[in-house]
A and B are shown apart, each in its own frame.
Chain A
Amino acid sequence: MKSLFQVIIRELRRLAPDPLVWFCIVVAPLLTALFFTTFMWQGLPTNMPIGLVDEDNTPTTRQIARNLDAMQQTRITANFADITEARRAMQRGEIYAFFYIPRGTTSLANQQKRPTISFYTNYSYLVAGSLSMRDMRMMSELASGAAARKVLYARGLTEQQAMAFLQPIVIETHPIGNPTLNYNVYLSNMLIPGILGIFIFMMTVYSIGSETKRGTASEWLGQAHGNIHRALVGKLLPQTVLFLLVGALIVIWLYGYMHFPCQCSPWTMMGVMSLYVLACQGMGVFMISMLPTLRLGLSFASLWGVVSFSICGMSYPTMAMDAPLQGAAMLFPLRHYFLLYVNCALDGYPLMNAGLHVLALLGFMLLPLLCGWWLKRQLLTVRYVP
């Protein structure tokens, strides 16, 4: 017990004066939390610029344009004389989409000859493209509907009957957990823990790897009486405490201050976050055990941390990836955190419904028990080669 205490004191003396350590453990994770949440403060982008090519330019088409402008997410910022001009504006990034009403639309509609209007969306900007597509499609439906309703009213149908005729089947959507389709909820909930994970990997690798680099590994192990597990616990405990605090602050920020949906008790998310922090530390120990040179260990940590974002399935579903990647995703703590977050905070199911992922995180946490002896051997034999 006394030796454990000594290791802790030694570690505090090593780390506390280094500003880089404070940057990585406290400043940067909290700063990124602030960054992402303020960056997507709006939740859903509004007033995205779109263009209009109205070759017909009659009261009817102007009415369509006015309706389109009234949509919440898009705003007509420019009128163009023809498609080429609109396309050029799109290529310059001035507009995300444009509406095209060809010459003769009104007269064809009056003759009941079914003219076609089109909308062009640019999916090079996926979010902007999908959102403006939704508005434009709705608008086109309405434009068509408005014209049709007039005919039906003229035939003596009531409004209800007319609507039933025009749109017999309505789709009512119920997005579970995130009813406003808030992108801040959707992305910040995962990006912030992802960044925290990168720092935990790196700090764990750094604090162990710097012992070999400075040639102090045997001193460190000596203080723990040669017991690698005691040495590891003593070394990582100060960081664990700080990271747990930062994790708790993030949970408070997301669910307490930002009021992101949290169907479970905030304590459950605190628990999930704490488990994730410990799992990342376990993974970090594994990384430096496998690649015991500081720079290789750090490269491993950074590459693993960055790939986490893509493979965890937050933006592009893991389900849609090739089978080997679906398996590989299990090797990333962020993947399990993601599934636990969805299970608890978003859907409000009991924690044990995703018990397997709790076990997986525990497994990551206990990895040092498996690779400890190997790490010890490496620490005592590997010489630092610059």
Chain B
Amino acid sequence: MSQYRFRESLSDFAAIFMDELRTVFRDQGVLIFFILVPLAYPLLYAYIYNNETVREVPAVVVDEGRSQLSRDFVRRVDATADVRVVAHCANMEEAKKLIRQRRAYGIVRLPRSFSADLSRMKQTSVRIYVDMSGMLYYKAILLACTNTSLDMGAELKVMRAPGTTEEQDLVTQYPIEYRQVDIFNPTAGFASFLIPAFLILLLQQTLVLGVGLSAGTARERNSYAELLPLSRHYNGLARIVLGKGAVYLLVFLWNAFYCLFVVPRMFSLPQIGSPTDVWLIALPFLVATVAFAMTCSVLIRQRETVFMIIVFCSVPLLFLSGVSWPGWSMPKFWKVVSWAFPSTFGINAFVKVNTMGATLADVRVEVISLWAQAAFYLGTTLLVYRNNIAAARRRLSEKKLNLRRRLDSRRFNAQSPSQQ
């Protein structure tokens, strides 16, 4: 008996699985989000951010003193990779005009007394005015000028302190030397920072969109606007949920392989984590996301609704993950909200393992949270599907009852004249 039931449920599972697989691959809309977007979008984004950082930010110079030293300073700033001097202006008015025309993003102003101050052993100050439309312009111009001032300052000290050896001068300058080491993202690049987080978010968003779209289609196709068809195979809650879920999981295991392994390799993004660990994160992340998507999909009455609700969330979700805005500075309320989404833990775990080479033990909090989310959303999916099926049955039996009543009355009406 039990063996028979097991075989039956297995065949139901297989039937539901095949059914859903067919639906997915026949639906153009679902295919866009299951295949096309996960394939093409990472390429587009990697292309956008591929240059990693901004180089040769155009700047103008206002050199009021025009001495040998000031020209030297300007030449050194120009020689850095960050800044390119596009013009020398006679005064600030002229320089501001170039900024207004967007031909430059910053002004470097050297005072008239630049050379005199330096030779009189007085501190001199170079002013920089930076257009704040992008933080990277600011960073580039500030970095170039600071480095130049430190380099030049060091040489000046050596020149102007006669009677000492070079080593002595160095000691006076920097009794303690310091060194900056950038680890995990050594170029401080934008792509290396953003793309890993983006890839995980993309997996979640396309999955939710695709599943929602497929649910919307199922409802629109169904003559009673129900989510599930009432066929022989569609009984047994677990079979339905697992059968459908297995299809989504299968498709996204492939997408995850492409996004998490192939794309970073193609664009030489940081990829120092162990592949096994990445899979051990990807798996709970995908299971949680599939269940999350299936729970959400019950809300979808029309195919189009899903676009309106899901798409705009992408940017807030990226912020909620705490990768761009430091998670430590996040207001408590939003932090709690962020725990509802698999992307929060998925992004953090993936960035830590893939970009920073953490081991699975280092991200166990995230992995456990993902499994907890998987269990929770599986529970909610079972619950909402059960309600859905029960409601559908009820509506159907009501419809049957109405139909029978109508038929009865019609029969009665048809019979009554003959009786007369």
Chain A positions near chain B (C-beta within 8 angstroms): 20, 23-24, 28, 32, 35-36, 38-42, 45-49, 87-88, 90-93, 96, 105, 109, 112-130, 133, 136-137, 140-141, 143-144, 147-148, 151-152, 160-161, 163-178, 181, 183, 186, 191, 194-195, 198-199, 202, 206, 209-210, 294-296, 298-299, 301-303, 305-307, 309-311, 313-317, 319-322, 325, 338, 342, 346-347, 349, 353, 386
Contact = CB atoms under 8 A, between A and B. Distances in A.
A161 B121 contact: yes
A347 B100 contact: yes
A122 B178 contact: no
Contacts of A136: 180
A71 B189 CA distance: 25
Contact of A164 (B121, B128, B168): B121
Contacts of A147: 175-176
B340 interface: no
A7 B58 CA distance: 52
Given A45-B326, A92-B362, A143-B178, 5 more contacts: A36-B316, A122-B356, A123-B187, A167-B149, A349-B100
Contact of A317 (B127, B136, B168): B136
Contacts of A32: 312, 316
Interface in B145-196: 145-146, 149, 152-153, 156-157, 161, 168, 170-190, 192-194, 196
Contacts of A129: 182, 185, 188
Interface string B331-360: 100100000000000001001100111110
Lowest 9 A-B CB distances belong to which pairs? A123-B185, A91-B358, A140-B178, A45-B329, A169-B149, A147-B175, A320-B54, A178-B132, A302-B311
B29 interface: yes
The interface residues of chain A, by DSSP majority, are classed as helix
A48 B252 CA distance: 36
Contact of B314 (A90, A114, A177, A306): A306
B129 interface: yes
B131 interface: yes
Interface in B220-246: 220-221
B91 interface: no
Interface string B29-48: 10010000100010011011
A321 B48 contact: yes
Interface of B: 28-29, 32, 37, 41, 44-45, 47-51, 53-55, 57, 73, 99-101, 118, 121-139, 142, 145-146, 149, 152-153, 156-157, 161, 168, 170-190, 192-194, 196, 213, 217, 220-221, 270, 303-305, 307-309, 311-312, 314-316, 319, 323-331, 334, 348, 351-352, 355-359, 362-363
Contact of B315 (A23, A122, A309): A309
Nearest to B322: A125
5 contacts: A24-B308, A143-B178, A171-B142, A176-B130, A295-B304
B45 to A, nearest CB: 7
Contacts of A92: 352, 358, 362-363
Contacts of B192: 123-124
A50 B146 CA distance: 24
A20 B325 contact: no
A170 B123 CA distance: 7
B175 A109 contact: yes
B132 A346 contact: yes
Contacts of A322: 47, 50-51
Contacts of B311: 198, 202, 302, 305-306
A196 to B, nearest CB: 9
B41 to A, nearest CB: 8
A143 B132 contact: no
A68 to B, nearest CB: 12
B362 A317 contact: no
Given A143-B176, A315-B134, A386-B217, A125 B323 contact: yes
A144 to B, nearest CB: 5
B304 A206 contact: yes
Contact of B171 (A112, A143, A315): A112
B325 A115 contact: no
